[in-house]
Amino acid sequence: MRITVLLGGDSFERDVSLSSSYEVVKALRRGGHEVYTIDPAIPMDRQSEPGKAAVGEEPPGLAPDPLPPADRLKWLQSPYLLNADAVFIALHGGAGEDGTVQALLDAAGVPYTGTGMIGSALAMNKDRSKALFSEAGIQTAPHIFVPQKRCGDGAKIREAVEGVLGFPVVVKPNNQGSSVGFSFVPSSEGLGEALERASGFGGGLVLETYIPGREVAVTVLEDRALSPVEIIPEGGFYDYKRKYTKGSSRYVVPAEFDSDVIMRLESEALKASRALLCRDYSRVDFRVGGDGETYCLEVNTLPGMTKLSLVPMAAAEAGMDFDKLVERICSLAAARGSVTTR
């Protein structure tokens, strides 16, 4: 196949994208495919092959300098894009994951991997996705949504938390991934700092009841739930650092739960993926309480494909190595051609 990998971008998850795309490009070339790369945040005359990227302990503070308005969509005119059998979207966060890039590729008639425009937009909006979870009968942690224009009203937010959720709570931006802007707030004293940290990303905030228990992720591949993966972060929460720093977390696959909990996790993952109109592959994140209750937190439509990523772990446990996984995802997109259904 002729495959073009979209990578980098200008979101706070740029480093994660570069790390994922490096592995994806190598895997596809090992499979004998003709592979090109495009970074939408870099001028077309300065494009280069992705190098081995290192993901730091914190999200990068600066994105590439914004392109002039006249140059921002020139990547859509590239023959490597327009003549591709499939475009592998290895972008993470921002316009790459919120439906914007998907809409542009739909308009260009180019087949691409993963979820379409509507599903991508729904999954990236934590408040709206949790509403759809509830409508589908999926248990999720109680939450409060704070619009961006009200993020500075700390007193009213604290009052709402104390009256509706109680402490401890988790504070995070409504439209970021990879735990960017995440804070665990054990008491009201730490709320102000957490609000300030998360509100800097725009899009409003989600404050969520903290569920004590175990962190679990379920991959959905071609509308089939793979075995759950338990994440055991060392000495803290599964934040940006512990997601991307080798040795900061341990993983157990398949996760060691009673069979009824496993069945519930897999069933809820499928329902969540379907509720958000996901396609091809996704990762559904859960907390499992000490009583065995499962709480769906969010769905990732472009999960990481780094060496520490959870989707490749789950696929390997199911008998599909990384190269075959990436090739299969591309084949699903190529089979759709330029016809999109979502």
pLDDT in tens, 253-309: 999 999 999 999 999 999 999 999 999 999 999 999 989 999 999 999 999 898 778
Residue 105 CA to residue 125 CA, distance in Å, equals 21
Query: What's at 261, amino acid-wise?
Result: V
Do 140 and 297 contact (CB within 8 A), yes or no?
Answer: yes
Q: What is the pTM of this model?
A: 0.89
DSSP letter assigned to residue 84: -
Token match 């870099």: residue? 42
Q: What residue ranges of the chain are covered by domains with CATH 3.30.1490.20?
A: 143-209
For 123-139+211-319, give the CATH class.
alpha beta
Amino acid at 152: G
Residues of the chain with CATH 3.30.470.20: 123-139+211-319
Classify domain 143-209 at the CATH topology level. Dna Ligase; domain 1 (3.30.1490)
- For 136-193, the pLDDT digits (tens) are 999 999 999 999 888 888 889 999 999 999 999 999 999 876 567 788 898 888 898 8
Helix (H) or strand (E) holding 222: none
CA–chain centroid gap for 143, Å, is 20
Are 146 and 171 spatial neighbours (Cβ–Cβ below 8 Å)? Answer: no
What DSSP letter does each residue of 48-76 carry, written as one string? ---------SS--S-PPPPPPGGGTTGGG
Q: List the one residue out of 178, 250, 183, 240 whose CA is nearest residue 215.
A: 250
Local structure of 229: helix, strand or coil:
strand
Active site residue ranges: 13, 178, 244, 283, 285, 298, 300, 304
The SS3 assignment for 113 reads coil
Look up tokens 């999926």; give the residue.
138
pLDDT for residue 229 is more than 80: yes
Residue 165, both tokens: 């959720």
- CATH class name, domain 2-113+327-335: alpha beta
